[in-house]
Every structure is written in structure tokens, then in C-alpha cells.
Amino acid sequence: MTRATKLPLSVIIITKNAAAYLAQVLNSVQELAQEIVLVDSGSTDATLRIAEDFGAKIYQTSSWPGFGPQKNYALSLATQAWVLALDADEVLSDDLKCSIRRALLKGTSAAYQLERISYFCGAFIQHSGWRPDWVLRLFPRTAAVFSADLVHEKVCLKEALPVQRLAGVLWHYSSPDFETVLNKINDYSSAGAKMCQQQGKSVSLLKAVARAFWTFIRVYLFKAGFLDGKYGLMLAIANAEGVYYKYVKYWLLQQKNSRL
């Protein structure tokens, strides 16, 4: 494709040591987007070199404010009429690329959800609360912001726009191996504990255990994780661990503050 065929679209991505899938991500959008905005928070792997190879506009930050604030910073740097927000491990299928092109050329004022299918330690998960997973990622630049959440941020529309769904798949390589799973459990539970502290929630060790147990039951039974076989069992346990660690970390923060 030539540059003339590209859309008035900014792709925004935040990164830190995201080299594993970044080339695939950028390759899937380079035919669509007029610009790729990448905000990096201290990568030490090949992330920045890969981004440079694809002509991304790279911005670096010295601190980590959390996912929501970091994505809002990336959004503030976008210049095109439309924004596609991607994680550094999300790859557009060919069908989804065609759907995005048709939607933007049509010119309808709307926001768009993409169907995300996520990968966990060797399999794309079909149940376990991970599918269906429609995520709002494509929107007019001035029509939305990200929530200020430190983790599990979401797109919040600032005006009443119709929300439509696009055909195609957003392939999400969220957990390629178990080391990644463990790192995410640690990082996300720490961020979740800080959010609980900000919200002033009540917590106890009993609550941590109860919430973890309920999470396992909900994911494995009520969300049909058992249909994902051994991967569903692993995922249910990992989710339960993440919830347990979040509340234990929050409880420990409270204990520390009470001694000050």
C-alpha cells in the first residue's frame, strides 16, 4: 500500500520491554494508519529499535503513572481524526483490518468495538470469561478518554456516540508463557492493591481468601472454564491467585499504615 491509501488514523500503544510481539502488532497496522504513537516507559530490550523500524513516533517517560494515565498521555499525542488504541501484544487479523478501513471510509460518527481473543500458555481461550470479549478501541480522537485506573483501564466516551461492532479478530497474545502469567499476577495485584487503598475499601485476610475462592468458582464453573480443559484450570487458578494477592497486599498496606 502507498501512503495515499492510509487512513486519518493514529494508532496509540504504550510499551515497556514489549519486543516479543511488537513487530507483528505494528506490521498489522502500518497499512492503515497515518501515524503510530508509541509511549515507552524504560524498555531495555529491542522495543525501541522495532518501533523505529516501523516509523513510529516514540515518546519516553521516566515514571510509570499507571495504565490509564499513560494511555491518556499517548492519546494526547495523537494528531489524526481517529484513534485505534492497542496493547503491545494485540494483532489485527486481515478481516479486522478490512472492517476498520470500511468503517473509517464510510465516515460515520461512531465508536467501534473489536472482538478480542486471548492466548494463554499455549491456547486461545474460548471460555473462562475471556470470550466473548468485545473491547472499545476505535473512536474519534476528541470523543473519548481512558479511565484513570492504574490497571484494567477502559475507554470512556465523552459524548453520546453509537457503539458498533466490527467483523474480524483482535488476536491478543497476553500470556505466552507461565513466567509472563506470574509477572502479571504480581504487577496487577500490586496496582489493584493501590486502587483499593485509594478507594478506601475494607479488607481482611478472610475476605482475601473468600474472594479468591469465589473467583476460581466463577471462572472455572460459571464461566465454563472447564471447557477450556487444562488451560481453563490453570487460568482459573491464576485468576484466583491474582485476587488473593491483591487483597493480601492491600491488607499488608493497611497494617503498615496502622503502625505509623
SS (H, E, C) 130-151: CCCCEEEEEEEHHHEEECCCCC
Residues 6 or more apart whose CB falls under 8 angstroms from that of 170 comprise: 86, 90, 91, 92, 93, 96, 114, 115, 116, 117, 135, 137
pLDDT, the chain, mean: 95
Q: Is 75 helix (H, G, I), strand (E, B) or coil?
A: helix
Q: Which three cell numbers stand for residue 10?
A: 493514529
| pLDDT at residue number 1 | 39
| pLDDT at residue number 202 | 87
CATH superfamily, region 3-175: Spore Coat Polysaccharide Biosynthesis Protein SpsA; Chain A (3.90.550.10)
Q: Which residues pair with 57 in a beta bridge?
A: 37
Separation in Å, CA 50 to CA 19, 46, 56, 85:
7, 6, 9, 18
| pLDDT at residue number 2 | 42
Q: Based on the number of CB atoms within 10 Å of its own CB, is 49 exposed (0-12), middle (13-18) or buried (19 or more)?
A: exposed
Question: Which ranges of the chain have pLDDT less than 70?
Answer: 1-4, 260
User: Using alpha carbons only, how large is the chain's radius of gyration in Å?
Assistant: 19
Domain boundaries, the chain: 3-175, 178-258
Residues 6 or more apart whose CB falls under 8 angstroms from that of 92 comprise: 28, 29, 100, 168, 170, 171
Cell 475507554 locates to 155
Number of C-beta neighbours around residue 105 at 10 A: 9
Q: What are phi and psi of 105, to 5 degrees?
A: -70, -25
Number of C-beta neighbours around residue 198 at 10 A: 11
Number of C-beta neighbours around residue 259 at 10 A: 6
| pLDDT at residue number 85 | 98
Count Cα neighbours of 168 within 13 Å in the Cβ-side half-sphere.
Answer: 20
pTM for the whole thing?
Answer: 0.93
Asked if 32 and 97 touch (Cβ cutoff 8 Å), the reply is yes
